[in-house]
Chains A and B, each alone.
Chain A
């Protein structure tokens, strides 16, 4: 990731008020016919131009949330505003500007790639444009497959056709429901590059994923959803800063009975009968690493010898697992 972007993001205050939201969801709820409550009062605001990653375990309500915005699911309650318009009242204008890549691979398998993409463009009310279709196919490395029948393509290519179909009408807001599920590492990186290119063109992107790595790599902000509730929404960097931890394990030559009192300023504990000195602290912005460097010097000054020093940063994954297992009781739950 580009350093200035990260810097800019870190400076952003938490919970910054959004002056120009592209999507504003209030109190959205959905109970399916069978009685399953998939969304239990979701508030979420998406900023124009950002990449927002929605993280959550299976059945959390991610697909339902996307479906409600895109017109596939009828909400049981709440409101959705997109581009400043009520999505129910102005559904035509709203839908025209939204693109959706669903989680499942679903299309007319016998259709030709090129035709299928052109069909999507037409359905959204745009005039046919050979050049634009070619451009979309080229950007997804599908140009040489444009005459192929969709069923003749590999799974990864099929997924790219789905993306091409969603991009054919130049949406301003794009939903990607698990865009990289079942896609190999190389293709996944390729897709990240394409998502970055879309953002550069000003497209706002909301993606769901199970790969924390993906959110960490791509997203500006991250929302965690579980059991139909948003547990946390914040800048990715801020989440890391707030909840991120650095862990260092220092293997001592001689066991200690207790941490040296002169190092009381550091969050230290002893493990494995005093053989391992453990540091857990920092804030995800590098404080932890600085602490550890200082700690190592201090140990040397005190004449405490050690044979190994292992450090590890907690990832969004750890944060996510923590959150889902014990949701924060403080009111960080609602969106920005």
Chain B
């Protein structure tokens, strides 16, 4: 296969440039939101809450908040990236270009993932202003953040192809992703839940993501890290499969 790497690079840079054009929306807003969480949960309420696993509550919620932003930003970046050209009709260019699944994914999903990583760095820097935290396994942390950013950018890409209106684009992050993340142990340890809620929580896939990231930060987790990694990989593989089928059948892309 003769991959059109220049094409992939063109899409990638174009997508990043588009993000910088709207830097306020894609970077400032999530930073502001996260800061608010830190102020309210970390500083105001957190001061009243005892340590969890020997970590201050403020430090405990850092990975959870990071995951919250990663999931919603990766998803919405990638979904808007592909939905907008579909909406305006500018997608004709992509469809008529010598660009296949691989180039499209490198371009759109790669750019969305990179944006998420930049955002993660900014959020972690912001967090140091509010709480003292350490990262016990920094390399695992970077790897895990990249994996999650890639997986949810792929998910967002599927969402952007599936959506046939702006509401649908927002409904999934709003009605599925955010609740699952809030219930997924962003602000508490699953251990703190009594049964039956603890068992119910085990069916929430986001629990494993939040716990995986928390393990890389604190070294403590409700589940083994292997399970978290496995779940994330499985999700990523599932998304890639769905996208491959979408391209093969031209679903929602080609008439």
Contact = CB atoms under 8 A, between A and B. Distances in A.
Interface of A: 32-33, 67, 70-74, 91-93, 95-96, 98, 100, 102, 104, 106-111, 115, 119-127, 165
A71 B96 contact: yes
A125 B7 contact: yes
B85 A108 contact: yes
A120 B9 CA distance: 12
Interface stretch (B13-21, B27-35, B54-62): B13-21
Nearest to A99: B96
B255 A72 contact: yes
Given A73-B254, A108-B18, A123 B94 contact: yes
Interface of B: 2, 4, 6-7, 9-11, 13-14, 17-18, 21, 84-85, 88-90, 92-100, 250, 254-255
Contacts of A120: 93
A57 to B, nearest CB: 21
Most buried by B among A109, A110, A122, A126: A122
B107 to A, nearest CB: 9
Contacts, number: 80
Contact of A106 (B10, B88, B255): B88
SS of B interface (majority): helix
Closest 3 CB pairs of A and B: A122-B10, A106-B89, A92-B98
Contact of B255 (A32, A110, A122): A32
A79 to B, nearest CB: 17
Contacts of A92: 2, 4, 98, 100
Most buried by A among B9, B85, B88, B92: B92
Given A92-B98, A108-B88, A74 B254 contact: yes
A92 B11 CA distance: 17
A72 B250 CA distance: 9
A119 B14 contact: yes
A204 B107 CA distance: 31
Nearest to B107: A123
Contacts of B2: 92
Contacts of A32: 255
A123 B250 contact: no
A89 B98 CA distance: 12
A71 to B, nearest CB: 5
Contacts of A98: 96
Contacts of B84: 108
